[in-house]
C-alpha cells in the first residue's frame, strides 16, 4: 500500500481525505469502551452542538450517508400519497437511484430550476389540486443549498420559499450536503439559512467537508422528530459504534472547523475561476461561481488528455461541460499545476 501514488483531483469533494482534526477526534474516541447505539458522550455532545448552531428546538440524528439522510427524513414526515416538489437536477431525483420514492412511496416531482434554483412560479401550478382525492398531494418542497450547480439561494429567496411552504401547508426540506459552503459564502451562521427562514428539516452534510463519513438529519420544527428513532433503526441507519460518527461532528462543529474548511474550498474555487477568466477566456464558465464548484465548457479534444493529468467528471457529454470541485484540502500549488497542464495542452 505504500507504493500507491498520491492522487489529487477536481472530481468531487467526496474524493478528499479526512481532515486531521477529525481523524484525531476519531482516534481519541477510540480509547476504552463506550455505550453503543448513540448512548455515548460523543453523541450527546454532538446533539448539543447542533442545538448551538441551529437553535434549542433542533433535534439531530446521525446517519451514515447523504442518501440515507434524505430518504429517512422525508419518509418520516410524509405519506405515500404525497409528493415532493424539487428542482429537476436535485440529488434526490437524479443521483439516488430512486431511493426516496422506493422507501417512502412518495412521488417526486422535478421542476424547472434556473441555475439550479426553484422559483415560486414553478411551484404554484402544483398547489391547485390540493385536497382533490384524485391527485397526489404536495407534501414537501425540497431544495439543495448549495445547488447542484454550485449556486446559492439568497436569504431573501429562502424566506420567500419558507413563507410559500407555510402558506400552503407544505414541509420545507433542505438537502444541505454543502450547506457549510453556502454559509461561508454568504458569511452567515448556519441558523440564518435554515431555522430562521422556515426550514423544517435538514440533511446536514459532513462527508464533503472533511469527515470520514457521516451526515445528520436535523429536525428544526418542534415535534417533527417524534418517533424518528424507530425510522432510523428500521432503515438500517443506527450505528452500533455511534461514537465514531459523533466524534467527527464534534470536531466539525465545536471550533468552527466546518467554516474554516468551507471558506478554504470556496476560496480555491474563486482562485480557479479568476485564473480561467484571465488566461483562458475562450472557455465558457456556465454558472456563477458562488461556492466550491465550476462548470466549464471545454473543447472535447482536450478533455481526456486533461483528465489523465488531474481527473474530473464530465457533467454533460454532449456539450463537453466539465465540473470542477474544490475541497478543504485543495492547495494553490495543485491548481497552479492544473492550470499549467491546461496551458500546455
Given 234, 254, 274, the domain boundary residue is 254
The H or E element that residue 137 is part of is strand 137-144
Residues 248 and 307 placed together within one structural domain of the fold:
no
Q: Are 62 and 187 members of one domain?
A: yes
CATH code assigned at 274:
3.90.1150.10
DSSP 208: G
Largest CA distance in the chain: 64
Q: Is there a single domain that holds both residue 317 and residue 227?
A: no
Q: Which structural domain, as residue segments, surrounds residue 70?
A: 20-254
Q: How far apart are CA 305 and CA 301, in angstroms?
A: 8
- Grid coordinates representing 235 are 432503515
Which backbone phi and psi does 190 adopt, to 5 degrees? -60, -35
- Is residue 11 included in any domain, yes or no? no
- Domain membership of residue 161 (yes or no) is yes
Q: ∠305-307-312 over CA atoms, to 5°?
A: 155
Q: Are strands 82-87 and 137-144 parallel, antiparallel or unpaired?
A: parallel
CATH number for position 90: 3.40.640.10
pTM for this structure? 0.97
Q: Per the domain annotation, does 298 fall within a domain?
A: yes
| R_g of the chain computed on alpha carbons | 20
Helix axis angle, 20-29 relative to 243-254, nearest 10°?
140
Are the beta carbons of 140 and 173 closer than 8 angstroms? Answer: yes
Specify the pLDDT at position 4.
72
Cell reading at 85: 416538489
Residues 192 and 296 placed together within one structural domain of the fold: no
pLDDT value, residue 1: 60
Residue position matching grid coordinates 400552503: 168
User: Which of 206, 226, 254 is the endpoint of a domain?
Assistant: 254
- Is residue 224 domain-shared with residue 285, that is, in the same domain? no
Answer whether residue 12 is part of any domain: no
- Separation CA 299–CA 313 (nearest Å): 14
Q: What is the count of structural domains for the chain? A: 2
Q: Smallest Cα–Cα separation from 192: which of 162, 222, 224?
A: 162
Same domain? 246 vs 161? yes
* Res 7: pLDDT: 81
Q: How far apart are CA 95 and CA 89, in angstroms?
A: 9
Cβ atoms 310, 275 nearer than 8 A:
no
Q: Is 122 among the domain residues?
A: yes
Mean pLDDT by 10 residues, the chain (345 residues): 77 96 98 98 98 98 98 98 98 96 97 96 94 96 98 98 98 98 98 98 98 98 98 98 98 97 98 98 97 97 94 96 98 96 94
182, 296: one domain: no
pLDDT at 251: 98
Whether residue 200 sits in one domain with residue 124: yes
**Alpha-helical segments (H) within the chain:** 20-29, 41-54, 66-77, 91-94, 99-104, 120-123, 155-167, 179-186, 228-234, 243-254, 257-279, 300-309, 332-344
Same domain, 138 and 266: no
CA–CA dist 11, 323 (Å, integer): 7
Which grid cell sits at 135?
Answer: 391527485
Say whether both 185 and 298 belong to one domain.
no
Contacts of residue 103, defined as CB under 8 A and 6 or more positions apart, other chains included, come to 71, 75, 235
- Any idea what the Cα angle at residue 278 is, between residues 298 and 181, rounded to 5°? 75
Residue ending a domain, choose from 254, 281, 315 = 254
Within-domain flag for 194: yes
314 and 248 within one domain: no
Query: Is residue 145 a part of any domain in this protein?
Result: yes
Residues 265, 329 within the same domain: yes
In a domain, 6, yes or no: no
Amino acid at each position: 500500500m505504500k507504493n500507491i501514488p498520491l492522487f489529487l483531483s477536481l472530481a468531487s469533494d467526496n474524493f478528499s481525505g479526512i481532515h486531521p482534526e477529525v481523524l484525531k477526534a476519531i482516534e481519541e474516541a477510540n480509547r476504552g469502551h463506550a455505550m453503543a447505539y448513540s448512548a455515548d458522550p460523543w453523541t450527546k455532545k454532538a446533539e448539543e452542538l447542533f442545538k448551538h448552531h441551529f437553535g434549542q428546538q433542533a433535534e439531530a440524528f446521525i446517519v451514515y450517508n447523504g442518501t440515507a439522510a434524505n430518504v429517512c427524513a422525508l419518509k418520516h414526515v410524509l405519506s405515500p400519497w404525497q409528493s415532493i416538489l424539487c428542482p429537476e437536477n436535485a440529488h434526490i431525483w437524479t443521483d439516488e437511484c430512486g431511493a426516496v420514492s422506493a422507501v417512502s412511496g412518495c412521488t417526486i416531482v422535478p421542476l424547472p430550476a434556473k441555475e439550479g434554483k426553484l422559483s415560486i412560479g414553478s411551484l404554484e401550478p402544483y398547489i391547485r389540486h390540493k385536497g382533490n382525492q384524485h391527485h397526489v398531494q404536495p407534501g414537501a418542497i425540497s431544495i439543495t443549498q448549495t445547488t447542484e450547480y454550485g449556486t446559492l439561494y439568497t436569504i431573501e429567496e429562502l424566506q420567500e420559499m419558507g413563507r410559500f411552504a407555510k402558506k400552503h401547508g407544505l414541509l420545507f426540506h433542505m438537502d444541505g450536503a454543502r450547506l457549510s459552503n453556502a454559509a461561508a459564502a454568504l458569511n452567515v451562521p448556519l441558523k440564518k439559512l435554515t431555522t430562521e427562514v422556515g426550514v423544517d428539516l435538514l440533511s446536514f452534510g459532513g462527508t464533503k467537508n472533511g469527515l470520514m463519513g457521516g451526515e445528520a438529519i436535523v429536525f428544526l420544527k418542534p415535534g417533527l422528530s417524534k418517533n424518528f428513532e424507530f425510522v432510523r433503526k428500521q432503515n438500517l441507519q443506527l450505528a452500533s459504534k455511534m461514537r465514531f460518527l459523533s466524534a467527527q461532528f464534534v470536531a466539525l462543529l465545536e471550533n468552527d472547523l466546518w467554516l474554516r474548511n468551507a471558506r478554504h474550498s470556496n476560496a480555491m474555487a474563486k482562485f480557479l475561476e479568476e485564473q480561467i477568466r484571465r488566461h483562458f477566456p475562450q472557455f465558457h464558465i456556465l454558472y456563477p461561481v458562488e461556492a466550491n464548484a465550476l462548470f466549464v465548457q471545454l473543447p472535447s479534444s482536450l478533455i481526456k488528455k486533461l483528465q489523465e493529468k488531474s481527473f474530473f467528471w464530465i457533467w454533460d457529454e454532449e456539450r463537453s461541460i466539465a465540473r470542477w470541485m474544490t475541497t478543504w484540502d485543495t492547495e494553490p500549488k495543485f491548481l497552479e499545476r492544473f492550470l499549467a497542464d491546461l496551458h500546455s495542452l
